[in-house]
Amino acid sequence: MWLLKVFSVIYFTACAAQDPYDVSTMSGYVSPTSPLPMITIYEPPVPSLQLQSEWSDVFPSEKVELSCSVTGSSDWTFTWYRNTQLQEPDPNVSLSPEGSKLTITAATQTHSGSYSCKAHHKTKSVTTKSSNSVKLTVYANKPKPTLTRRSNFDKMFPGESVTFTCKVDVASGWVYLWYHKVTDEIPAHNNNAYTIASIDHPNSGQYHCKAKRGKDPFYTEESDTTFLQVSDPPKPSLELLSSWPDVFENETVEFRCEVHSTDWTFTWYRNQKDLNKELMEDMYMEEDDSLLNVTVVTQAYKGDYACKAHLDSRRVSSGFSNTVNVTLYENVPKPTINKVPGFNPMYAGETVNLNCNVDVSSGWKYQWYKDGIELRATNETNSIHLALSDQGRYWCKATRGEIISTDFSEEIQQYVLEIPIPSLKLITPWFHVFPTESVKLSCGMDGSPNWIYTWYKHGQEVQADDVVSFDSNGATLFIRSASAKHVGQYNCKGHLNDRSVGSNFSSGLTLNVYDEKPRVTLTQDPKYRVMFPGESVSFSCHVNVSFGWKYVWYKNSYPSIASGINYSLNSVETTNRGSYACRAERGSDPSFLTDSSQTIRLEVEGNKPKPLLTQQPDVEKVYTGELVSFQCKVELSSGWRYHWYKDGKQLPINSSSFEIHDANLSNGGTYKCMAIRDKTMYNTQYSDERLLHVSEIPVPSLKLITPWLDVFPTESVKFSCGMDGTADWNYRWFKDKQPVQADSTASFGLDAATLSISSASASHHGRYSCSGKFKSRDVTSNCSDGLTLDVYDTKPRVTLMQDPIHNVMHTDDSVSFSCHIIVSSGWEYRWLKDGSRLTETGNNHTIKSVARTNTGSYQCQAKRGRDTVFSSDQSQAVRLDVEERPQANIILLTGWSEVFSTDSLVLRCGVHESQNMWNYTWFKEGQPINLQPSEKHAVTPQNDPEQSLYTCQGIRTGRPSYSRSSDYFKTKNLLLKRRVLLSISGCIFFGIIAVFLGCIILRVIRKPADGEEKPEEAELFLTMAQLKNRDDAPCPLVEYITDAELNASSKEADDNGTICSETTPLPITSQEDQVVTSENQDGTEKNGGLVSFK
């Protein structure tokens, strides 16, 4: 600091020694003694805020522009405020480069408020007051126009007028857009009212509107739609209320004109002439003109009548209605009479239609007469279902209304006869027939050949088909091949040819037809399928229904000479082998032959049979307690009784089989059998012998497949059960003598030979055993020896320990973790750090030299098993915190002022960022120096002639017990460099003193010219206030001091291998140095400025 003051004095003294005029001409310099110019102070102008867009009340997404300006000047920038708060950045708000224009591109409600601005001078620190304010209102939603319609009828008619009105209730400046049929814009109609002076059908449809405003138009919502329906006026309907349009003189005609709506009036026309203008005497109308009545028709009233409808309140008229033509006849006609059919006579039950007809007009009612008596019939056609009483003479006449009546028609005569009854006869001799037999019936009517006959069965008509046929007029019914469908009561009816005359039914005949042909039964006694030579046999043939049967015998489908009901063979031979059958027949032309009986095959075997002996189960060895059955069977024929033998002795058994229910060792032996025919006493050979072995049931062997019988919850267990040397067994499992059932955790392998418990729990604890069951037989072994499974209540607890037990470790320390489970065996271990898996697998994890990366939470976990791995829960977490070992540093204590007075350097060792007490060990070229631990170490040319590398290390009794070694410190040529640097500095200092003295001498020697005005002597130094008010005074000293070269790192530090600059702390030993240091701090606090000596 004292050097800075000396340089300042020298600089200003040199400047003062120059020519006074030269000093005053320095750039920006004004002598403090010069007269000061007059300064005028103005009040800053107030900016003007204007709304550039047209409206201050806007809607969402509408654009707003505001401008701020200062009249007559462009040297200003602007700041904007909303509600007196500085406008915050907003993506929808943009400013012009100098801030004179604020644009809100898409307004929202958050932009509502009072806006103002302030101006700031570009070159001067001048800020104006706030401008006038503009209040901006932003509505929450777009407005929706209201659409109304005048002449608001549901239906409008062509030529009427309609006006639509669109209105937006908020804001102003709206231009209206009109739309027809949703998307079609109506051009050139921007007013809020749209009028159609004369509507037509194309104007039908939906109408709506919306509004817009602004250059970049803002559009409102669309209004609700209103529908305009343009329809033609309804066409009136003309209805003739009287019964007929063609009339006779003096009859009445009445019309009605209708429109399916109210408020309509009517106008009447005849031959398209308005009747309202020429109403005749016998014509009148109702009040609303909807009815027209002509009371007495004459020739003058003929013509086409029509009407029109009028809606007077809206000046609308319809077109013409439909027309009705009124025709007038001059004379009353005479009716004609006829009858259908024209047969005469007719039979009772026939229907005759008598027709009375008037050829002109309509609406006639008819009166009928028989033999001069009026009948009830009034229709044009009189239909009569004839009886004998209906015979007689008929005529008619016609009437219409109360005044019109015709003359009588001509007469017509009708005769009526009774219908005869036909006779039914049976031609074939019997009513009980069999399928395929024929039947013939006849039907006849005495004395008339013109009848056709119809046959009925149970009231249903019989139709001809491929079995049923009739002769030419149906008088004979022939059933060629009867079947069950022909069963029933038959009768017949006669029909007169070409007439609707039918007789009553004849008497009935019932025909019975069996469902099928009679069944012929063939029996054999005895009923042996196979016979042996010398045995006798007899066959019998029977038909159990009807009578008159003859029998025919067949052997191998060929007829034989036997004809009776029985056929016997007293001593069979092999030549009698064959198939035997019989049939029955009756009748002739054609005869009826039954189907053949069932065939009985007679086999005659020449050799004695040998029984087949079988055993169940069909095995060489059975187990005690099993069921063993034997069966003896002769494959040929039947009727055998059996004899049994064991070890050559007959057993008291005659059936074809016998059973040993609970086999034991004594049932073993050799078994055989033979058979004897029960009726003929014919005996077979002995069967083959069968040897039976009976053995004891083996006991299964239970084994544990998994290594442990003491397991933990969720661990898997597997047992096996087996019989030595065989796979013929299924197995059952028991726990504490109770059957084990498969569930979600317990399952069985093939044949249940293994029991797997996928996730053990306390419920699986117990003694397990198994038993075997033979797969193909009902054989069950005793239970095996038991194995006891112990299941712990909980998973094993894993214990994690740390050695040494320190909360904080330091880098390069060694630490070891151990993991233990005190129950069971077979454990493998896995290690985790902060939840991530480590590679170590043993129960110990050792870190020989910890680093900061080893900081974390350590856990371990145990597992065992191969196919299904069981894992314990993770141990408790042990937190390992690793801190950097403190760093030792070497500081040079020898100061600049001591370089000329000493030949040694003093080094000090310290541990940074540590509050602990340390001792220090010194090292030279990596080897310890054999001295007492000390904070300082002196280096002299005697003890370090080669300028070696030095390091130090802190040591202490607590943790950490030692620090990291310091960086190397090199002492080579350090004293010499400092001495050279101080010599150069001295030369520079004395050179500056010489320049200072030269300036003083020049100022004394040089005198101003005579007559020249001597300027007032200026002060050498400016005061702090003058310096602060001037920003144009150059300060070369400051420029020199802040030169970047002075901030460059010292080359000396580079040579020593450590950073050693002027900021390296040196011990302050003298009071003068302490004063300089204090002044330096004061100068720094005052930003390095020079203070006047005043």
Residue owning tokens 């405003």: 213
Q: Is the per-residue pLDDT at 925 higher than 60?
A: yes
**AA letter at 460:** Q
Through-space distance between the first and last CA atoms of the chain, rounded to whole angstroms: 19
Cα 624 from Cα 705, distance rounded (Å): 32
Confidence grade of residue 1089 (pLDDT, cut at 50, 70, 90): very low
Distance of CA 158 to the CA centre of its chain: 55
38-52, 164-178, 994-1008: which has the minimum mean pLDDT? 994-1008
The whole-angstrom separation of Cα 192 and Cα 708 is 96
Both tokens of 1044, joined, read: 């970047």
Residue 117 has pLDDT above 90, yes or no: yes
pLDDT at 51 over 60: yes
User: Considering the chain, what percentage of its residues have pLDDT values greater than 90?
Assistant: 30
The mean pLDDT of 181-195, rounded to a whole number, is 82
Query: Given this model, what pLDDT does residue 14 score?
Result: 44
CA dihedral 986, 992, 998, 1001 (to 10 degrees): -100
Specify the 3-state DSSP secondary structure of 386: coil
| pLDDT, tens digit (0-9, with 9 covering 90-100), for 127-137 | 999 999 999 99
Of residues 979 and 845, which shows the higher confidence score? 845
Mean pLDDT of 893-903: 69
Average pLDDT over residues 684-712: 90
Is 60 exceeded by the pLDDT of residue 219? yes
**CA–CA gap between residue 169 and residue 167 (Å, rounded):** 6
| pLDDT (average), residues 558-564 | 82
Note the pLDDT of residue 946. 66
Q: How confident is the model at residue 557, as a pLDDT?
A: 87
Sequence letter at residue 30: V
**What is the per-residue pLDDT across 575-584, written as a single tens digit (0 to 9) for each?**
889 999 999 8
> How far is the CA of 154 from the CAs of 204, 229, 601, in angstroms?
12, 7, 101
Give the C-alpha separation, 1083 to 1065, whole Å.
19
For residue 1019, pLDDT over 50 is answered with: no
Q: Which residue has the higher pLDDT, 262 or 858?
A: 858
Amino acid at site 1025: A
pLDDT of residue 674: 93
Are 415 and 345 in contact by the 8 Å Cβ rule? The answer is yes
More confident: 1029 or 43: 43
B/e letters for 41-75, b = 16+ CB within 10 Å, e = fewer, are eeebeebebeeebebeebbeebbbebbbbbeeeee
Closest CA to 618 of 691, 527, 519, 541: 691
Matching residue, tokens 């690793």: 882
Pairwise CA distance, residues 232 & 160, whole Å? 11
Question: What whole-number distance in Å separates Cα of residue 147 and Cα of residue 164?
Answer: 7
pLDDT score for 726: 81
Nearest to 465, CA basis, from 453, 476, 452, 480: 480
Weakest-pLDDT range from 298-302, 381-385, 694-698, 803-807:
298-302
Contact predicate 443/475, CB 8 Å: yes
What type of residue is 195?
Answer: T
Angle between helices 2-16 and 1071-1085 (to 10 degrees): 70
SS (H, E, C) 800-814: EEEECCCCEEECCCC
Would you place residue 1029 in the very low, low, confident or very high pLDDT band (cuts 50, 70, 90)? low
CA–CA separation, 589 and 318 (whole Å): 93
CA nearest to 554, candidates 601, 603, 591:
601
DSSP 8-state code for residue 245: S
Q: What is the mean pLDDT of residues 510-538?
A: 87
Pick the more confident residue, 272 or 720.
720
Q: Look at residue 79 and tell me whether its pLDDT is greater than 90.
A: yes
pLDDT cut 70: percent of the chain above it: 86
Do the beta carbons of residue 1089 and residue 12 sit within 8 Å?
no
Print the SS3 string covering 1025-1069.
HHHHHCCCCCCHHHHHHCCHHHHCCCHHHHHHCCCCCCCCCCCCC
Q: By the 8 A CB rule, do 627 and 663 touch?
A: yes
Q: What is the DSSP letter of 688?
A: P
Q: Are 856 and 880 in contact (CB under 8 A)?
A: yes
Q: Which residues contact 147 (CB under 8 A, 6 or more apart)?
A: 164, 165, 166, 207, 208, 209, 223, 224, 225, 226
For residue 1091, pLDDT beyond 50: no
Residues 297-318: what's their mean pLDDT? Answer: 85
Estimate the crossing angle of helix 974-1005 against helix 2-16, to 10 degrees: 30
Task: Check residue 502 and report its DSSP letter.
Answer: B
User: What mean pLDDT do residues 901-929 have?
Assistant: 84
Tokens representing residue 369 in the block: 């007469």
pLDDT (0 to 100) of residue 8: 52
pLDDT of residue 865: 82
CA distances from 779 to 663, 731, 891 (A): 11, 11, 99
Cα(846)–Cα(681) distance, integer angstroms: 103
The C-alpha atoms of residue 133 and residue 115 are separated, in whole angstroms, by 5
Furthest C-alpha separation in the chain: 198
With the CA atoms of 968, 972, 978 and 980 taken in that order, what torsion angle do they form, in degrees rounded to the nearest 10? -150
- At residue 781, φ and ψ (nearest 5 deg) are -85, 170
Q: How many Cβ atoms sit within 10 Å of the Cβ of residue 768?
A: 23
List beta partners, residue 1028. none
* 347 has a pLDDT exceeding 90: no
What is the rounded distance in angstroms from the CA atom of residue 578 to the CA atom of residue 556? 6
Tokens of 683: 């005996």
pLDDT, tens digit, 9 for 90 and up, residues 387-425: 988 999 999 999 888 788 888 899 999 998 888 889 998
pLDDT tens digits, one per residue of 1033-1047 = 444 433 333 343 333
Q: Residue 804: pLDDT above 70? A: yes
Closest by Cα among 130, 169, 131, 126 to 147: 169
Assess whether pLDDT exceeds 50 at residue 1076: no
Cβ-count burial 834-845 (b if 16+ within 10 Å, e if not):
eeeeeeeeebeb
Tell me the β-bridge partners of 455. Answer: 492
If pLDDT is split at 50, 70 and 90, which confidence band does 288 have? low
Question: In this predicted structure, what is the pLDDT of residue 927?
Answer: 87
The mean of the pLDDT values for the chain is 82
User: How confident is the model at residue 949, as a pLDDT?
Assistant: 87
Residue 431 has pLDDT above 70, yes or no: yes
CA 357/CA 243 separation, integer angstroms: 18
What does the DSSP 8-state code read for residue 686? P
The Cα–Cα gap between 115 and 86 comes to 10
Task: Judge whether residue 1086 has pLDDT over 50.
Answer: no
Q: Which of 7 and 528 is assigned the larger pLDDT?
A: 528
What does the pLDDT average to over 247-259? 86
Q: What is the mean pLDDT of residues 854-863?
A: 92
pLDDT greater than 90 at residue 548? no
Query: Hunting for tokens 């073993």 — which residue is that?
Result: 668
Average pLDDT over residues 156-175: 90
Report the distance separating Cα 793 and Cα 761, nearest Å.
8
Cα gap 812→964, rounded to integer Å: 9
Q: What is the pLDDT of residue 225?
A: 92
Least confident interval from 7-21, 107-121, 989-1003, 1056-1070: 1056-1070
Pairing of strands 134-138, 175-180: unpaired
Helix (H) or strand (E) holding 22: helix 20-24
pTM above 0.85, yes or no: no
Residue 28 in this model has a pLDDT that exceeds 60:
no
